[in-house]
Amino acid sequence: MTDAPAAEAANPESSRGCVRTQLDRARFRAALSRFPTGVSIVTFDGPEQRHGMTANSFTAVSIDPPLVLVCVARNATTHDLMRDRPFTVNILGAEEERLALHFAGRPSVKPEWIEDPVAPRLAGCLAWFACAPWAAYDGGDHTLYVGKVMGFDYRGGDALGFVNSRFTVISEASLGVEFLL
């Protein structure tokens, strides 16, 4: 049996371990893009204005208490503004690709806002989770923001997905867990 750390130290060109070069980073990102995700927009009120950013790094953390997590790149303009602020995760429907692009830096639509007692949200989304700040964790070049869900809702419809660096449609299942409860 080989001691992996010792073998890696002896062979710095090993494919195991850290992402070492720009090419490695590009290949790592390409490998990650093979995992299909949903598309969301994180919205919040900053000290001077309202903000939103497109994100596909979103996941549920806990049912009790209800917690969700979003990953925000440290170089994002919204990164520092979001710290310790309530936020809403807006899950996009398949028809909302232009809204995703708008909040990814390619403005093309005027978002319709809904005032929420926790944090602003977007009208018409497939689902939304209004969150109070719970915790923030170091995630390398990202920060992992965990929010306690204070309110949520959803509607029927297909979801906007993202895989292989392209948008796609994730069809609504005919029966979801809500029909089993």
Model pLDDT for residues 117-128, shown as the tens digit of each residue: 999 999 999 999
- For the cut 60, the answer to whether the pLDDT of residue 17 exceeds it is no
Single pTM value for the model: 0.81
Q: Does the bond joining 65 to the residue before it have cis omega, within 30 degrees of 0? A: yes
Q: Quick one: pLDDT at residue 57?
A: 87
Give residue 116's pLDDT band: very low, low, confident or very high (50, 70, 90). very high
Give residue 2's pLDDT band: very low, low, confident or very high (50, 70, 90). very low
Residue with tokens 């009790």: 64
Question: Rounded to an integer, what distance in angstroms lies between the CA atom of residue 6 and that of residue 2?
Answer: 8
Q: Quick one: pLDDT at residue 9?
A: 43
